[in-house]
Structure 1
Amino acid sequence: MKAFIISDEINQFHWAMLKSILLILSLLPISQGILSLWNVTEGSSQIMVGFFFVSLFSALFVLCFWSALKATLLNLKQQQSSALEHYRYVPMLFLIAMMSYLVTQL
């Protein structure tokens, strides 16, 4: 079903941006949950929590990078591309900002 106001390609572009940014923004609550779990555990249990943290975050960072890259490289028609060109890099900027915030907090 076609949208009346927004064309299908622009609609797909907006959904790709929204999904990518929501995936990136999910990193913050997950990191806070794991950090509070890290503070509660003691000794040898921290090794298990640390391994879980590293494996989960590496998978999440790969997914976030892939979704931001997919939104950045999305092909649109030439006439619509010029209007949306400056929005292409928003997910990648969100990812960079979230990564730098998490690095400084952890």
Structure 2
Amino acid sequence: MKAFILDDEINQFHWTMLKSVLLALSILPISQGILLLWQSTEGGSQIMVGFFAVSMMSSLLVLSFWSALNAAAAELQQAQGSALEHTAVNIYRYLPMLSLAAMLSYLASQF
């Protein structure tokens, strides 16, 4: 039985993908927490919470987009491997951008 061993470059690429996807998926619980906090405050405090929410969400969205874009543009040198493996890696590299787009479309439909 053949063991599937990832070389160091593919392993680092995989961890980059996981970090990028988890960063994009962290948008939902943070936005729900901020929405709950905003609804529980009243009056002038809502302005402060709203400003905090806009600044935090915009920085999180920019970081998520940068991470997904960085993962999609990563250069890999795959000397060995079949055409199927090359195709799978090329499709896999767009997973963070797809998860970010799905999360943003979900949030846009909720608010």
TM-score (norm. length: structure 2): 0.87
Match of 2:86 in 1: 82
Q: Which has the larger radius of gyration?
A: 2
Q: Distance in 1 between matches of 2:95 and 2:39?
A: 33
Match of 2:109 in 1: 104
Match of 1:21 in 2: 21
Of residues 6-15 and 81-90 in structure 1, the stretch that sits farther from structure 2 once superposed is: 81-90
Match of 1:39 in 2: 39
Match of 1:65 in 2: 65
> 1:22 is matched by which residue type in structure 2?
L
> 2:90 is matched by which residue type in structure 1?
E
Q: Distance in 2 between matches of 1:17 and 1:92?
A: 10
SS at match of 1:6: coil
What's the C-alpha RMSD, in Å, of the aligned pairs?
1.5
Q: Distance in 1 between matches of 2:106 and 2:47?
A: 24
1:43 Cα deviation from its structure 2 partner: 1.2
Of residues 73-82 and 47-56 in structure 1, the stretch that sits farther from structure 2 once superposed is: 73-82
> 2:91 is matched by which residue type in structure 1?
H
In structure 1, stretches of 5+ residues that fail to align are: none
Write out the 4+ residue segments of structure 1 that deviate beyond 3 Å after TM superposition.
78-81
SS at match of 1:74: coil
Q: Distance in 1 between matches of 2:16 and 2:78?
A: 18
1:78 Cα deviation from its structure 2 partner: 4.2
1:94 Cα deviation from its structure 2 partner: 0.4
Q: Identity of counterpart residues, as a percentage?
A: 64
Q: Distance in 1 between matches of 2:22 and 2:61?
A: 13
